[in-house]
């Protein structure tokens, strides 16, 4: 059994909401990452701005929102 705390991994599924192009030509993505506690009982949504290289296209898995 895991102790309390938020489970955050190096790669996580997220929902993409927006793209923004900066004046230097770089793209940022606004994503929402559902993060859950170690026991899976509670969690929260992490709203993040990430660089384009942090985003990849993939099919949602069963059970993902």
pLDDT tens digits along 15-36: 999 999 999 999 999 999 999 9
Structural domain range at position 26: 6-54
Question: Which residue has 């296209």 as its token pair?
Answer: 57
Residue 11 has pLDDT above 70, yes or no: yes
Indicate whether 30 belongs to any domain. Answer: yes
Convert the pLDDT of each residue in 32-54 to its tens digit. Answer: 999 998 888 889 999 999 999 99
Would you state the pLDDT for residue 61? Answer: 62
Buried residues in 38-57 as b, exposed as e (16+ CB within 10 A): eeeeeeeeeeeeeeeeeeee
Indicate whether 26 belongs to any domain. Answer: yes
Indicate whether 29 belongs to any domain. Answer: yes
Is the CB of residue 2 less than 8 Å from the CB of residue 39? yes
Indicate whether 41 belongs to any domain. Answer: yes
* Number of folded domains that form the chain: 1
Indicate whether 62 belongs to any domain. Answer: no
């Amino acid at each position: 059994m895991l102790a309390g705390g938020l489970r955050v991994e190096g790669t996580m599924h997220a929902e993409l909401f927006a793209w923004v192009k900066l004046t230097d030509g770089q793209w940022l993505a606004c994503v929402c990452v559902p993060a859950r506690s170690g026991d899976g009982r509670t969690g929260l949504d992490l709203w993040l701005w990430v660089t384009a290289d942090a985003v990849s296209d993939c099919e949602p898995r069963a059970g993902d929102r």
